Chains A and B, each alone.
Chain A
Amino acid sequence: MPKAVRLADLAALTPSERDTIVERVVKDDLGPSNGSGAATAARIRAFEQRYEVSSETLLEELRTERRKETAEISEWLFLLQLQRQEAGGG
């Protein structure tokens, strides 16, 4: 899983140090998602286990208004969107 760069830490760096860090993040992005995609899938599975429904069922329950779009559900939907982007589905 690529390491996150905390944006607040960049202010203390020189322009050259900042470029080095940005280039490292860009390099991380050039590869396959590897650990990132697996981590997203694991977080989706954790939601599915906690709510005891599949993501497909969640979407159906939202469509038929049997479930509310809470902050947690929003996070779950965000992860599904991310997974969709990863799969090239946009």
Chain B
Amino acid sequence: MTTEVMSNDEKKWVKAFQRIPQVYYFLVIITVLGVVLDQIFARGNILSNPSILTNILIRSVALGIVAVGQTFVMIGASIDLSVAYTISLTAVLSSLLMQGDPSRVPMTIAIVVGVGVLVGLINGLIITKLDVNAFIATLGTGLIIKGFLNGSFTNWSGSVPESFQAIGYEKIGPIPISILLLLAVVIIGWFILSWTKYGAHLYGVGGSKEIGRLSGLRTSRVIIISHIICSLTSVLSGFFVVSRLGSGAPWVGPDGIYDLESIATTVIGGTALSGGRGGVFGTLAGVFIFGVIDTVFNQLGIDTFLKTVLRGAIIILAVASYSFRSEREAA
């Protein structure tokens, strides 16, 4: 019934080409656009400026780290809206516990990481055992954390010792530590997703819970672990944020709109809301896209608010173009 017009090899090349995630095209386009604008309006001074480039990278670190966690969760067909508040929680608790004392750093890290694991665990349990929609569940836990934070702290509290601030400010050679941190997180994330049994199971469960179950996977466990991973990345991101700010306050997370942006960059990066596919490198590309837009716009003196507008437009258009690729009934 079907006639084959291309040879098998040709078909495979075309299919492989089509498989390159669109996000990389976007990244290239945005970068080229940025370079062009740079040349026209600033005579090439922006992007050739190393400190500005570093700036792009550093702004991307906080978002990038948490976006990796969000990617995990979304591959599992779930979502995490509590990340922004977890970041705030981390920042506040860290500065509160450290009180500027370097010797308290290890203990603080241990405690805060523990708290992060707890948050992820609770998210995962509510979703899998109470059968609550992930959107609502993580919205709820986020609000609980928000309430607790805002209720207990109205201002900056405590401080982080300078040794800790190294994360945010110091370099190893020419490369800032924070960027190394981001790269480490991305590479570890990639490793887990592509090279471990868990990663394979996460893709399986996210692709189809039913097929996962038929293959004997413990679907609840897989989802819960993904949420724990996401909260851990929120904690790491929080550490970075607080190291740059020197102290923590409750609005730190929401201010950066980490929740919406981590979802947006993940989706733009090619991870589907419905789960089962995607990866951290795509997400990273999405983060860089936003980073380039941010920086170029800033330097050109374009209103930051227009930036937000552009973000919104990009999110919609990117996802729309993905939906055209695979026609599914939207809700």
A is bound by B: no
